[in-house]
Structure 1
Amino acid sequence: MSKNKVRIELNRAGVRELMQSPEMQAVLLEQANKIASASETETYVAQTRAVTAVYGDDGNNGLLKAVGKHGGKNH
């Protein structure tokens, strides 16, 4: 068995275009709505990528619990 080295070079312009695309914004908004459908969301394009922010507090840490339930760092 020979071990061949494989070199992968990213097309940085293409990756940036994908990360800022309307399709990426739609995916982010969909995920944000799954996490907290009753919360306020804001989607915008930053310097390098699309961003969706979720705002709101139901008084019971609902947003924090939802993030943990849907893939937070500690779960």
Structure 2
Amino acid sequence: MRRLRRNDGLNLLSNHLLSGRVPMMTLVHTLAVAEYLNFRHAANALGVAQSSVSARVKALEEDLGILLFERHARGVRL
């Protein structure tokens, strides 16, 4: 998957949102990861399994064709 410039990602995401193709819970999970910069902490805050958060974010990234997060051993970076 390719990295993108911030504006590219916003345009892709807004197009998907306007078309109604992104489930609300996927957005909630993705925003939690962006807030906590950690999948486990985001999952704990949401009260769901870490694998659920990971799967939703991965599915969104694949649907958009871009990486939303840079993954590292101790968390993620936008």
- TM-score (normalizing by structure 1): 0.26
Greater RCO, 1 or 2 (C-alpha within 8 Å, sep 6+): 2
Q: Judging by fraction of residues, say which structure has more strand.
A: 1
Q: Judging by fraction of residues, say which structure has more helix.
A: 2
